[in-house]
Amino acid sequence: MGVTGDFLRGRGRDTLSAEEVSVLEQAIDRVDTLPPRSVVTRRGDRVRESTLLVEGAMCRYLDARDGYRQLLAYHVPGDFVDMHGYTLRRLDHDVATIVESRVARIAHDRVDAIMRDHPRLAWLLWRSTLLDAAMHREWIFRLGRLDAAGRLAHFLCEVAARMRAIGRVSDDVFALPLTQQDIGEACGLTSVHVNRTLRRLREEGIADVGRGEARIGDAKQLARIGEFDADYLYLDDGPWADTDR
């Protein structure tokens, strides 16, 4: 499986033809290894290529005037972290790695060729940006309507579902290389609040987060606390699985 093997995996990957996979692979200019905690793109930067996360973990975020960072997205392998930059030409937020990450770069002139010569593959690239938008809407709901435990539970459920879709969950355990501060920045909580809530989830046997991984002990209870329904992720085994045009 090439470097694009996790693109749309579990969320419509099976609709890619062998020819489309080949076109996407051949469009890659290079594969880079980026150090942990490094900024890849700054807000306002002109972007001339799109970045596919191959291995590792990345995030999108904004910095407030007081220095507090708000995570806008958490990216797992198979995600294009900036495909929207193809049409917008610049980003209105920062993109950074969380751990050492491998990324594939596709220059925008090659994306132009895909848009011109491979309309169905172009449709699938567009679909990937719409999946991002669906997650953004759910994050707004999470931050606006859920309490601390609900926000954290929802976040864990979402990452677990996305990691399972790409085959990265084993015995209900998956990599989660986030500090408690990172989790707080994703959920709009202080580190103290995150620590307290994680301790509660651990003591009740619902979830255990630490040492770079998460273990789900009671998925149904975690989903109940987080008011989590995976329909917005458009998973292959969900109610929105039909991707035929």
Over the stretch 207-234, which tens digit does the pLDDT of each residue have?
Answer: 999 999 999 999 999 999 999 999 999 9
Q: Is pLDDT of 95 > 70? A: yes
Q: Are strands 58-63 and 49-55 parallel, antiparallel or unpaired?
A: unpaired
pLDDT of residue 66: 82
Predicted confidence (pLDDT) at residue 7 exceeds the cutoff of 70: yes
Amino acid letter, residue 118: H
Measured CA distances, 240 to 11, 218, 236, 243 (Å): 9, 25, 7, 8
Domain co-membership, 169 together with 119: no
Same domain, 132 and 161: no
Q: Where does the pLDDT of residue 237 fall: very low under 50, low under 70, confident under 90, or very high at 90 and above?
A: confident
CB atoms within 10 A of CB 137: 10
With respect to residue 244, please indicate whether it lies within any of the assigned structural domains.
no
- HSE at residue 71, side-chain half, CA atoms within 13 A, is 25
Lowest-confidence pick of 45-54, 166-175, 231-240: 231-240
Residue 239's pLDDT band (cuts 50, 70, 90):
low
User: What's the whole-model pTM score?
Assistant: 0.95
Q: Which amino acid is at 150?
A: G
The domain boundary, picked from 117, 138, 159, lies at: 138
pLDDT of residue 89: 94
Q: How far apart (Å, rounded) are the C-alpha atoms in residues 130 and 144?
A: 21
- Give the residue among 105, 94, 104, 106 at the shortest CA–CA distance from 37: 94
- Whether 241 shows a pLDDT value over 80: the answer reads no
The 10s digit of each residue's pLDDT in 137-149 is 999 999 999 999 9
> Within a 10 A sphere around the Cβ of 48, how many other Cβ atoms?
12
Number of other residues whose CB lies within 10 A of the CB of residue 105: 16
CA–centroid distance for 226 within its chain: 18
237 in any annotated domain: no
CA atoms within 13 A of residue 15's CA, in its CB half-sphere: 19
* Mean pLDDT value across residues 19-33: 97
The answer to whether residue 166 scores a pLDDT higher than 90 is: yes
Considering only CA atoms, which of 74, 82, 56, 83 is closest in space to residue 158? 74
pLDDT at 23: 98
Average pLDDT, the chain: 95
The secondary element (H helix, E strand) that includes residue 81 is none
Check whether residue 123 and residue 153 sit in a common domain.
no
Out of 56-70, 160-174, 193-207, least confident range:
56-70
**Residue 180 CB contacts under 8 Å (≥ 6 apart), including other chains:** 191, 194, 195, 198
Does the pLDDT at position 81 exceed 80?
Answer: yes
Tell me the residue range of the domain where 31 lies: 13-138
102 pLDDT higher than 80: yes
Domain identity same for 43 and 108: yes
What is the structure's pLDDT at 68? 84
Q: Which of 45-49, 63-67, 129-133 has the lowest mean pLDDT?
A: 63-67
Q: State the Cα–Cα distance between residues 3 and 83, nearest whole angstrom.
A: 16
Based on the fold, state whether residues 134 and 151 are members of the same structural domain.
no
Q: Say if residue 244's pLDDT is above 80.
A: no
Same domain, yes or no: 31 and 120: yes
What is the rounded CA–CA span in Å between residue 143 and residue 132? 17
Q: Is residue 172 part of a domain?
A: yes
